[in-house]
Structure 1
Amino acid sequence: MTPNVTQLQPVSQATDQLLQQAIAHHQSGRLQEAGVLYQTILQHQPSHPEANHNLGVIAIQAQQPAAGLPYFMAALDADPTCGQYWLNYIDALFQAGQQEDARAVLALARQQGLQGEEVDALAAHLNGNAPVAVQRDLAPWDGEESHPVSLAGPLPGNTPGHQEMDVIVALFGEGRYAEVATLAQRLTVHYPLHEFGWKILGVALKLLGRGQDALEPMRKAAMLLPTDVESHYNLGVTLQELGRMEEAEASYLRVLQIDPVYADAYLNLGVTLRTLGRLDEAEERLRQALQIRPDYAEAHGNLGTMLQERGCLDEAEASFRKALQLTPDHAVLHDNLGVTLYRLGRLEEAEGSFRQALRINPDNARTHNDLGVTLQELGRLDEADAHFQMALLINPDDARTHDNRGNLLCYLGRQNEAAASYRRALEITPDDAGMHANLGRCFRNLRHWKDAESHFRKSLEINPDDLETHNNLGLTLQDLGLLDKAEACFRDILQIKPNSVGVIGNLGLVLQSLGRLDEAEACFRQALQIKPEQASLYSNLLYFLLLSATMDVKSVFSEHARFGEQFESALSLDWPEHTHTRDPERCLQIGLVSPDFNNHAVATFIEPVLEHLSSYPQLSLHAYYNSVINDKVTHRLRGHFAHWYPVTGLSDAELAEKIRADGIDILIDLTGHTARNRLLTFARKPAPVQASWMGYPGTTGLKSMDYFLADRFFLPPGQFDGQFTERIVYLPAGAPFLPSKDAPPVNGLPALSNGYLTFGSFSRPNKLSPAVISLWAELLRALPDSRMLLGGMPEEGNYDALIKWFEMEGIGCERLIFHARCGMENYLNLHQQVDYCLDTFPYNGGTTTLHALWMGVPTLTLAGDTAAGRSGASILGHAGLESFIARDAADFLNKGLSWAGNLAALSDIRSGLRERFTKSAMGQPVLVATGVERALRMMWQRWCAGLPAESFEVPLQAVNSTVSEVDS
């Protein structure tokens, strides 16, 4: 809208002439000349209403409406009855972008009687209901007052008395803000156009904690005092605290227009811009505050916070330290410095900062949480948990602390407690993607696959771009046996991040389980090509080669040896000089390293040995547990060790250093190249003697690994030396087996009542392949009435690939019986439906073969030419079942048909297998444990004598003699 120039009322002759000239220039468009004359009038009469008003009009015409606001306010102060002043002031506010203020002033003016068509038109425009504003032409000056709009009645008095204001000021000084608010409210009723009442009312309400109520009085104060810094600053602070950041920004900018060196306004503007995500501008404003006040501690602190968020950690540290020089007892600054030091990896210094913050403010939940996180990183886990719990005692509804404590409990293997912490965090913040992902990982550790899947999917609904959670979802789908979905999940990730070696490796494992071995091998090799320095990728390839038989024996060994050359050669240059006391008969410190001290097949073999070894006075057992799973089995195993160390948080180098510090004499690997191995710790040779046992059916490829523990059935002496970098130690049995106490009794041979033979397999799906199915199918084709039971299948999986492989061999799905993974009791009961099992190759079954033997079910195995293909031969050899060990595929078929035709003999074997087992070395844990103890002593004696490692066999006679002494 184009404002009118106000016509003047008669005043002094000189002023009258100047005003006439000014208006004439103004109406002729000579704005500069008019402005000079208006300013001349104001030099003599600063409150002259017409001159002030018309200078405001010039500002609007010059498209600088904000510059005109002080002049319009001065005009209204001088003559609040002039409707035109109100209209032009409101229009200037609108054009200056202060729409809320414009509406507020219009409402105030209407309360005082402002009315007319132009008022209604302006109101419609302000409310967005009119396309254009009211237009006005300039009228020539004729010496008469011109009020195109009117006020319906007289306004109340303009100014409250000094006594009224003094009383309120005194009460304010005494902190009696409620009384101040009451009296100030009355002033705003009686003197609505006077700034004092509105200004002090707004401040009082804010100090009473009523920020929302304070907002309107503060707006009116700022409107009535357009050049008052305090009013606009107070309004900005209130808007900022209410979260209305864009409006707060406008208020602070108005402050800086009035006072360009107002440091507090630069500070708050910087903080506001930071909240709005405009970090470059925020930094600039904070630095401007510091240019004005270099010793402004709060500005240094806020600049540090913003620099920390931008990742400029060194600069952030400098800012926090400068702030602390100025205010050394500021707890928040110490905490923020601690966070910066933590992110810089300077954990001990971070701890010091957090403790200093807590010295100043011991009840700060955030600082307790931050200190807990730092202590966890430092490995001081009990202290960390104490601070997490203290934080939650202070603030039980802090979701982040519940989440962090969940991470700690998960790390400690206390998965059920961790799940409870994550659940509590999600009760408080149900839409936090990271917390859902953490709970999903916890459920995966607990093997609650469906719950894990649910939370991973919920996390991805909230944050669909989190590739790590996509990967964890893929792993969970793989756990569930949903291999096609798992493959799709991993391939989706690789579309976005094609060089993610972990995902490529995971895809390889899925393809391997799907029987697409060429594609799987290509994945493992691709991952290695991208990141050849990552040892775990090489281990994945080596384990795959044992399973897939895509290479000959020599090539498989060469690949293992290359692993040692690549990863051990450089480390061997720094092997320590072991200074252990060379006493061949002293008590030995024995370390065992494994991620499988839980409900895992390895525990089935190691537990009965540990039960006996733990009682030997000349051995002290140390467990280095590389997993976060902490189940009932973990609890039992822990009781057999003199020392128990969770080591998932230690690097290979740190673990090696710890093992050296613990004075371990003989270090035993129970993992080989399987998941979560610590072979790069062994490659650093932290102990004088090192051995690999039971976790992996093959060589580690490391020269630092001195021995491999086996038995003569598993690795017939002289036949496998060329496949190991280690020397082979022959025990009475490679490992004992502890049958389940809940095993059902052995039943009669099912074929005798069924009239047909039922074969069985309980091997993991990734051991099944088209080649395995092809050999089994020959037997099924030869016995057309026979059936095949396949247990241990994924809970949610489909079996299309397996069915297809059988169908390609002429075996219909009606002859196949699938059973999903289940609990131990149901799993063992399934054996009552099976006459004998068929083994996988080139990687035989192990634990499944032993369970089957205990249930009276022998396994027909094809002995291989690698250690991975000898587990079946070893187990059956110990049980005296050599007639179930085939030399080749033809012998496998012949032996299978032979037993199918001799059900009476098969029935006799079934009924006597438990007795056979308990009489074998595998069924006598004390015999194996004693053999292990003798082997360890013989290894140690060789080292004490300065002799190199050499293959040897523990004399059975010596073992039996020792066992007899123990029994007596």
Structure 2
Amino acid sequence: MDRFKLTPVEEALSRAQAALVENNLTEAVSAFAEARKAGASLRQTAERHAIALSELGQHAEAIEVLKPWFAKNRKSYPVTNLMGVLLKRAGRFTKAVQVLEQARKLKPGVVSAWQNLGNVHEAMGDLEAAAKAFRGGLRADPKSAELWRLHGRAILGLGRSKEALESLRKAVMLAPWDMAAVGMLTTTLREVGRAAEAWALLDRLAAQRPGEPEIAVAMARLHHREGQPDKARELLSKIIASSPGHLGANMLLAVTYGDSDREAANAAYARAVEANPGSFEALDGLVDSLARSRYGSEVAHLERAYELGIRLLDRFPSRAPDAARTLRTVFMRVLDEDTMARTGTLASLLPVWLADGRHSNVHYELGQVTTLDERLQLVDWHRQWGRKASRDISPVEPIATPALATGRKLRIGFMSSDLRQHPVTYFALPLLEGYDRDRVDVYCYSFSEKPEDSVQALIARSVTAFRHWPRRPDAQVAEGIAQDGLDILFELGGSTAMNKLEVMAYRPARLGASWLGYPHSSGLEQIDLILTDPYIRPDDPRLLIERPFEMPETWVAISRMFAEIDISEGTPEARKGHLTFGTANNPYKYTPACLDAWAAVLRTMPGSRFLFLRPEAGAESFVRNARAAFARRDVDPDRLEFIGIRGGHLPHYNEIDIALDTLPHVGGTTTCEALWMGVPTVSLAGRGFPERLSYSNLSNAGLGDLAVFSVADYVAKAAELAADPARRAAMRKGARAAIRANPLGQPERFTKAFYDLAQRVASE
């Protein structure tokens, strides 16, 4: 009987194989490790062991397991191809390309290496190389529907819609029920003005397979793209009624709700995650939506997003670049420096975001720079994005208008979905209600999907025309603006929610300009001007793409929307017995360099405290991580204080003696709020546009000495202010009178200077 007894190696390998059959990867990995320990050869274990580890997300371990076998089999196509895949999953893209190129040369007629190579190039943001690789695979197998779809996607990413259509049509011809290809084809057809062809395709498929949910999802997506959310939701709700966890239906339903009903969006994402626990897209969508949620308890939503974000990163480490914006937003908000580092570096992410056209991702990264070269690279990224985004866009023709020299009125437009109760309007309002109606016509354009509030209604009554065009396609928006015959159109929203930056690529006005919403060159070379002042304008002209529309004094003025909140008598230090530094700035500006500077100030001023005045400050995770961050910098974490609040935060400035600005990306609205509440702000003026906003605010409030130009001076200025209670007390007592005596507090002066300059620029 003993001759039938399995050896330890055989027994371990048998268990490993059984575990693989049952998809018990953890057990399989354990059994393979036991087999190797018992003497199993690499031939018996390496490939399957590595694959199991990789499927568990342990990519580095998988590479180490395969490495000795790969070293012995560099001329083996399967082993080389597998190593390339493992390297890609581990995020080691450059090395993956090298190895997959070896695999391709070993078997040039085998499709998988070409496809894997294309996938790596796509992940790196090199879509030209990706398209070339997919085309190479198609030479080997011209009937591969998947390769045609991937090729079409890469070409689409390059902005070559017509060429992409050819590939996508071939993909659908070869695999008419590949709904990923069908969805991409119909969406592209609509974007190039061929919606009728898209609908004809979907109707034909629906007739062939009545009741097929995937076709209904594709139809709903097209309705959503055409600005018909109710029709989209009706179709999706029918699918979900019969299949509550349907992935595609729930994901799209969540998108149709978005910011207009974040609670409904969260419910849809949650159903998708529960029914599809292995879906990266569903989990990513839920984390992102929770992080954007303001209904109910914002802190509870943030904590849940943080918990799920870590789960996402642990479960799908190879997809970290795809989820980077979602994850970085959450980890920035809770100040988790260590987990944030796991999402990648800005240098590694920029190519990926460029390939995907994700302009909005970069807004939160404007402060993640340390050198001039990095700042210039960021400008170049925006320029490349702009050229890609506008590649297939043809300018519209504004209506003919008489020359300004004939005496007609100047026509100025402002485009933003934030022309409502929003910080953008805090500064734009003087221009919208204080202009000279005998000299100027003012047009506003909003795409907000939120109900009209009292501020939006006020603006609509004040301007010549208020165009409210929610969900209108960019091309139609541009055509509508062109009919107003504008001299200058100011874009105020950037790539923030519900705004339409790409409309500017159509040149719907004689001149395009940027202001307020995006504190950097947006990248579109069709935007001629960017509003600056002598302080904000970078000294190095390479740090701007547009020409400066330079105001003589200040780029903003405080409007009547700044509430007359009472400033408490005396200083917080006098009331509480200790000095309190603090910030109300957004945590995405809390860079390591910023935290280093804040900690240096606290070390210089023993006994002082630091107060975080933010919604996130009410979250246990933020408190815990903030304490850990300062402890790492030799500051007692008990010196930190937290007030968690969104809205209604101005009275709490009465708890702060000195505001410490973020760096290098500084505050703007928050600096003005602090000054309005009598709280001096110490700011570091940097080289780039987003690093100089407070320099302008302080200088135009008569407090230019509080803007310094080195970290050492930043710490010294904070200490100097701390040692001067008389100055701080005087500033609190006379804060608003001092502001109103300077350009920052004189909206009428600002408005006149703005329209005088606009008249001069438009007449050139």
**Coarse TM-score class (shorter-chain normalised):** 0.5 to 0.7
CA contact (8 A) 2:444 2:466 kept: yes
Counterpart of 1:872, as a letter, is: S
Q: State the SS of the aligned residue for 2:198.
A: coil
**Matched residues in 1 for 2:630 and 2:202: separation?**
64
Question: Match of 1:556?
Answer: 375
Distance 1:908 1:699, change over 3 A: same
What is the CA distance between 1:494 and its match in structure 2? Answer: 4.3
**Matched residues in 2 for 1:618 and 1:646: separation?**
24
What is the CA distance between 1:372 and its match in structure 2? Answer: 12
**Matched residues in 1 for 2:331 and 2:220: separation?**
42
Question: Match of 2:445?
Answer: 624
Correspondence for 1:445 among 259, 270, 290:
259
**Matched residues in 2 for 1:473 and 1:349: separation?**
29
The answer on 1:816 being equivalent to 2:629 is no
The answer on 1:806 being equivalent to 2:630 is yes
CA contact (8 A) 1:610 1:929 kept: no
Counterpart of 2:621, as a letter, is: N
Distance 1:755 1:702, change over 3 A: same
* Residue deviations 1:567-603 (CA, integer Å, cap 9, x gap): 4387499546766335114234433222433443222
**Matched residues in 1 for 2:219 and 2:718: separation?**
65
CA contact (8 A) 1:508 1:520 kept: no
**Matched residues in 1 for 2:371 and 2:554: separation?**
29
Larger radius of gyration: 1
CA contact (8 A) 1:839 1:845 kept: yes
Distance 1:723 1:770, change over 3 A: closer
Question: Match of 2:419?
Answer: 597
**Matched residues in 1 for 2:280 and 2:712: separation?**
49
What is the CA distance between 1:564 and its match in structure 2? Answer: 2.5
Correspondence for 1:707 among 529, 539, 559:
529
* Residue deviations 1:541-574 (CA, integer Å, cap 9, x gap): 4x3552112442x542344245335643874995
**Matched residues in 2 for 1:751 and 1:608: separation?**
36
CA contact (8 A) 2:599 2:635 kept: yes
* Residue deviations 1:278-301 (CA, integer Å, cap 9, x gap): xxxxxxxxxxxxxxxxxxxxxxxx
CA contact (8 A) 1:667 1:689 kept: yes
The answer on 1:534 being equivalent to 2:534 is no
What is the CA distance between 1:343 and its match in structure 2? Answer: 8.6
Distance 1:752 1:728, change over 3 A: same
Counterpart of 2:555, as a letter, is: G
Counterpart of 1:902, as a letter, is: D
What is the CA distance between 1:845 and its match in structure 2? Answer: 0.9
Q: State the SS of the aligned residue for 2:621.
A: coil
CA contact (8 A) 1:788 1:815 kept: yes
CA contact (8 A) 1:759 1:836 kept: yes
* Residue deviations 1:841-867 (CA, integer Å, cap 9, x gap): 101111111111111111111111212
Question: Match of 1:725?
Answer: 545
Unpaired segments of 5 or more residues in structure 1?
1-306, 314-340, 351-369, 389-399, 408-421, 943-968
CA contact (8 A) 1:505 1:524 kept: no
**Matched residues in 2 for 1:599 and 1:834: separation?**
26
TM-score (normalizing by structure 2): 0.62
Counterpart of 1:798, as a letter, is: S
Question: Match of 1:782?
Answer: 604
TM-score (normalizing by structure 1): 0.50
Question: Match of 1:503?
Answer: 323
Q: State the SS of the aligned residue for 1:818.
A: strand
Q: State the SS of the aligned residue for 2:570.
A: coil
The answer on 1:694 being equivalent to 2:516 is yes
Question: Match of 1:850?
Answer: 672
**Matched residues in 2 for 1:372 and 1:778: separation?**
55
**Matched residues in 2 for 1:312 and 1:428: separation?**
24
CA contact (8 A) 2:582 2:610 kept: yes
CA contact (8 A) 1:765 1:793 kept: no
**Matched residues in 2 for 1:746 and 1:710: separation?**
34
* Residue deviations 1:375-422 (CA, integer Å, cap 9, x gap): 88666x7xx98xx8xxxxxxxxxxx9xx449x9xxxxxxxxxxxxxx9
Distance 1:727 1:531, change over 3 A: closer
Counterpart of 1:842, as a letter, is: P
The answer on 1:471 being equivalent to 2:284 is yes
Correspondence for 1:735 among 551, 556, 567:
556
CA contact (8 A) 2:739 2:745 kept: yes
Aligned length: 548
What is the CA distance between 1:885 and its match in structure 2? Answer: 1.8
Correspondence for 1:773 among 577, 590, 595:
595
Q: State the SS of the aligned residue for 1:802.
A: helix
Counterpart of 1:729, as a letter, is: F
**Matched residues in 2 for 1:535 and 1:640: separation?**
36
Distance 1:797 1:474, change over 3 A: farther
* Residue deviations 1:740-759 (CA, integer Å, cap 9, x gap): 43623443211112221011
Q: State the SS of the aligned residue for 2:734.
A: helix
Question: Match of 1:867?
Answer: 689
What is the CA distance between 1:839 and its match in structure 2? Answer: 0.6
**Matched residues in 2 for 1:816 and 1:438: separation?**
42
* Residue deviations 1:198-233 (CA, integer Å, cap 9, x gap): xxxxxxxxxxxxxxxxxxxxxxxxxxxxxxxxxxxx
CA contact (8 A) 1:580 1:665 kept: no
1:518-533 map, 5 Å:
519=341, 522=344, 529=351, 532-533=354-355
CA contact (8 A) 1:668 1:690 kept: yes
Distance 1:746 1:617, change over 3 A: farther
Q: State the SS of the aligned residue for 2:612.
A: strand
1:249-264 map, 5 Å:
none
What is the CA distance between 1:921 and its match in structure 2? Answer: 2.0
Unpaired segments of 5 or more residues in structure 2?
1-172, 180-193, 204-217, 293-300
**Matched residues in 2 for 1:605 and 1:517: separation?**
36
**Matched residues in 2 for 1:312 and 1:790: separation?**
51
Question: Match of 1:345?
Answer: 198
Question: Match of 1:832?
Answer: 654
What is the CA distance between 1:774 and its match in structure 2? Answer: 1.6
Aligned-residue CA RMSD (Å): 4.3
Greater relative contact order: 1 or 2 (C-alpha under 8 angstroms, separation 6 or more)?
2
Q: State the SS of the aligned residue for 2:758.
A: helix
What is the CA distance between 1:792 and its match in structure 2? Answer: 0.8
* Residue deviations 1:863-908 (CA, integer Å, cap 9, x gap): 1121211111111111111232222122122221222122122101
CA contact (8 A) 2:354 2:381 kept: no
Question: Match of 1:753?
Answer: 575
> Percent of pairs identical after alignment?
24
**Matched residues in 2 for 1:310 and 1:560: separation?**
42
Distance 1:579 1:536, change over 3 A: same
Question: Match of 2:146?
Answer: none
CA contact (8 A) 1:666 1:689 kept: yes
**Matched residues in 1 for 2:339 and 2:310: separation?**
17
Distance 1:866 1:524, change over 3 A: closer
* Residue deviations 1:422-472 (CA, integer Å, cap 9, x gap): 9xx9999995768877886688626867x8656643453355566554233
**Matched residues in 2 for 1:627 and 1:442: separation?**
14
Counterpart of 2:717, as a letter, is: K
**Matched residues in 1 for 2:456 and 2:730: separation?**
38
Question: Match of 1:883?
Answer: 705
* Residue deviations 1:498-532 (CA, integer Å, cap 9, x gap): 66975343234445553469847846655654574
Q: State the SS of the aligned residue for 2:449.
A: coil
* Residue deviations 1:359-382 (CA, integer Å, cap 9, x gap): xxxxxxxxxxx9999988666x7x
Question: Match of 1:894?
Answer: 716
CA contact (8 A) 2:445 2:467 kept: yes
